[in-house]
């Protein structure tokens, strides 16, 4: 992206860091998250037009504090520090940072002074605070431009150096004028034009793929979900018949899923698509496995080995392509981010593979951006708005040991849930909805007879980018109808529950 305007977001481990990237992109400027330890040489090479230093849990003066190379602040790049980032700039530039006796968390009213950073912002507005340390004195040459009753330096800046720090979080919706602050930084302070759009992304990525692949062959893992569908269409636009799509039927697909994928992509779009029956291979490896991370890593390895075997039989294939997206990368561990769960196409990959390289054209995109790319590529709404389906498939929706009985039960229950959601017209309102077979059996009564059967959990969430999600408020009448159908139509189930947990603290998937 060296030919595009780029804003680098230096990651200091804060909870809102990916959201900062999203907000900047939404404002029309391409942004990437990079570790706080990125060298000054690397930053010069990337040639960003702006820098944002994120929040984080550390204290700037603690022994384990995360400190970047201070010379980066002397490169003449417009810079915005947020929360910890603001404290760090002040600390490195000779200001004063202190620890408060109690943490300030929540909404505060901030008063501002005239500044390019606060253009079109009222003299008083509500901001969101989340910090223990605070800037008590701005560095020499920096002016205090914002304050609250409890925070004497809520914002400060140096107009000439184009370096600013804000103690509040402009990236969260609780800050009334947060988007305006970020917009001002991009356009008033950094003087950017804003050239990031999905149409531009497609043109750039198609060119990159053609340059990298040339006349070589690419094997793409097709799952049927929106990510692999958009990745496949993007790759097909770039290299046409040199793309070979492969669907691995690992025995963990939803009901009628394989047939639907073939109908849409092979028969409809006309892509090269082969289906590999690998049910026995995967299920035998998963036999007796109950630990979620182990399941994911087994599936990740078997995916690669299956593709390698296919490649050997069909002739030399140089590249493997996948529909990896940004949340996959983050959750699989990025920089200082904790490993939440290994995604089969990121953290679950074996260390040695028989391909020259893995191509992931959507790796830097959030889910909503992937959908925008899909529409720009001309894909039908039924494909672009298809709810996400995890690469490990139903394996992460069967709690405990995976058995044929549980899988068949899950397919039927999941199909009923999805069918009723669609009939109710909620399929475009709810981000993701599916059933889970728990490892719990309980006593029930059916037809005056005692039963001891499985509990099925229903999960439905609303979200924008999968980084956070809220449970969907499905009407009780609809939940009752789904529950009744599952109990009456699916053998082996005598109890249905609904998951009302948001992300965080939970993840969307149960495993």
11, two tokens: 């990651």
Mean pLDDT for the stretch of residues 402-418: 95
pLDDT of residue 332: 54
pLDDT in the model for residue 269: 80
Q: What is the pLDDT of residue 52?
A: 98
What confidence score (pLDDT) does residue 59 get?
85
Could you report the per-residue pLDDT of 334-353, keeping only the tens digit for each?
A: 444 433 334 444 334 444 45
| Mean pLDDT value of segment 140-164 | 94
pLDDT at 280 over 50: yes
Q: How far apart are CA 373 and CA 387, in angstroms?
A: 16
Domain 6-189, CATH: 3.40.50.880
- For residue 333, pLDDT over 60 is answered with no
Give the residue extent of every domain in the chain. Answer: 6-189, 198-384, 398-498
189-248 confidence digits (pLDDT tens):
999 999 898 988 999 899 999 999 999 999 888 876 788 899 999 999 999 999 999 899
Share of the chain above pLDDT 70, in %: 92
Question: Would the pLDDT of 511 be above 90?
Answer: no
What is the rounded average pLDDT of the residues 282-305?
Answer: 91
- The pLDDT tens digits for 33-79 are 899 999 999 999 999 999 999 998 888 877 778 889 999 999 999 99
Does the annotation count 236 as an active-site position?
no
**Which pLDDT value is given to residue 28?**
94
Q: Is 83 a catalytic residue?
A: yes
- Predicted TM-score (pTM) of the model is 0.68
Single out the residue of 28, 30, 24, 32 nearest to residue 8, CA to CA: 32
Cβ atoms < 10 Å from Cβ of 280: 10
Q: Is 169 a catalytic residue?
A: yes
E-state strands within 389-500: 432-446, 449-463, 469-471, 493-498
pLDDT at position 286: 94
Across 382-389, average pLDDT: 79
Digit-coded pLDDT (tens) for 102-128: 666 778 899 999 999 999 999 999 998
439 or 380: whose pLDDT is higher?
439
C-alpha to C-alpha distance for 349 and 342, rounded to whole angstroms: 9
Biggest alpha carbon–alpha carbon distance for the chain: 82
Catalytic residue among 5, 131, 151, 169: 169
- CATH number given to 198-384: 3.40.50.620
The closest of 302, 337, 328, 281 to 221, measured between CA atoms, is: 302
Q: Pick the residue with more confidence: 421 or 17? A: 421
Mean pLDDT of 133-146: 93
Calculate ∠ Cα 167-171-174, nearest 5°.
Answer: 85
CATH domain 398-498 topology:
GMP Synthetase; Chain A, domain 3 (3.30.300)
pLDDT per residue as tens digits for the range 450-499: 888 999 999 999 987 666 789 999 999 999 999 999 999 999 999 999 99
321 contacts 340 by C-beta, under 8 angstroms: no
Same fold, 6-189 and 198-384: yes
pLDDT at 93: 94
Q: How, if at all, do strands 155-158 and 163-166 pair?
A: antiparallel
452: Cβ–Cβ under 8 A, 6 or more apart, which residues?
Answer: 441, 442, 443, 444, 494
Of 5, 171, 420, 511, the active-site residue reads: 171
- The 10s digit of each residue's pLDDT in 172-202 is 888 999 999 999 999 999 999 998 989 889 9
Q: Residue 331: is its pLDDT beyond 70?
A: no
Catalytic choice (5, 83, 151, 250): 83
For all residues of the chain together, what is the average pLDDT? 88
Is the pLDDT score of 500 beyond 60?
yes
Nearest alpha carbon to residue 441 among 420, 456, 462: 456
């Amino acid at each position: 992206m060296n030919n595009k305007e780029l804003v680098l977001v230096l990651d200091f481990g804060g909870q809102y860091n990916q959201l900062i990237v999203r907000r900047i992109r939404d404002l029309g400027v391409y942004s990437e998250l990079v570790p706080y330890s990125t060298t000054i040489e690397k930053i010069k090479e990337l040639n960003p037009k702006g820098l944002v230093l994120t929040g984080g849990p550390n204290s700037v003066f603690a022994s384990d504090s995360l400190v970047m190379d201070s010379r980066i602040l002397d490169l003449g790049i417009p810079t915005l520090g947020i929360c910890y980032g603001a404290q760090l700039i002040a600390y490195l530039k000779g200001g004063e940072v202190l620890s408060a006796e109690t943490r300030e968390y929540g909404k505060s009213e901030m008063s501002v002074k005239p500044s390019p950073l606060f253009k079109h912002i009222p003299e008083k507005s509500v901001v969101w605070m989340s910090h223990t340390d605070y800037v008590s004195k701005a560095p020499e040459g920096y002016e205090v431009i914002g304050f609250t009753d409890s925070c004497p330096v809520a914002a400060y800046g140096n107009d000439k150096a184009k370096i600013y720090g804000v103690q509040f979080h402009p990236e969260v919706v609780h800050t009334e004028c947060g988007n305006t602050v970020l917009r001002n930084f991009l356009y008033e302070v950094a003087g950017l034009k804003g050239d990031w759009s999905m149409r531009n992304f497609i043109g750039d990525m198609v060119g990159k793929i053609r340059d990298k692949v040339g006349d070589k062959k690419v094997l793409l893992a097709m799952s049927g979900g929106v990510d692999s569908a958009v990745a496949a269409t993007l790759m097909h636009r770039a290299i046409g018949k040199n793309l070979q799509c492969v669907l691995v039927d690992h025995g963990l697909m939803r009901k009628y899923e394989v047939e639907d994928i073939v109908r849409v992509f092979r028969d409809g779009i006309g892509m090269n698509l082969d289906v590999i029956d690998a049910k026995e291979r995967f299920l035998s490896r998963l036999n007796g496995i109950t630990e979620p991370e182990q399941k994911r890593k087994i599936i990740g390895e078997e995916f690669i080995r299956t593709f390698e075997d296919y490649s050997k039989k069909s002739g030399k294939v140089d590249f493997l392509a996948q529909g990896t997206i940004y949340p996959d990368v983050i959750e699989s561990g990025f920089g200082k981010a904790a490993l939440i769960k290994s995604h089969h196409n990121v953290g679950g990959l074996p260390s040695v593979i028989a391909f020259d390289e893995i191509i992931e054209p959507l790796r830097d995109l959030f889910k909503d951006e992937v959908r925008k790319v899909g529409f720009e590529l001309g894909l039908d709404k039924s494909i672009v708005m298809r709810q996400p389906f995890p690469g490990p498939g139903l394996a992460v929706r069967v709690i405990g040991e995976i058995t044929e009985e549980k899988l068949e039960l899950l397919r039927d229950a999941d199909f009923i849930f999805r069918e009723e959601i669609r009939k109710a017209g909620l399929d475009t309102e709810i981000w993701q909805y599916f059933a889970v077979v728990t490892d719990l059996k309980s006593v029930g009564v059916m037809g005056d007879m005692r039963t001891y059967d499985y509990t099925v959990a229903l999960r439905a969430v609303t979200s924008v980018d999968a980084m956070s999600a809220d449970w969907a408020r499905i009407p009780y009448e609809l939940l009752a109808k789904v529950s009744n159908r599952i109990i009456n139509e699916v053998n082996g189930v005598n109890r249905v529950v609904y998951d009302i947990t948001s992300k965080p603290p939970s993840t969307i998937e149960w495993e």
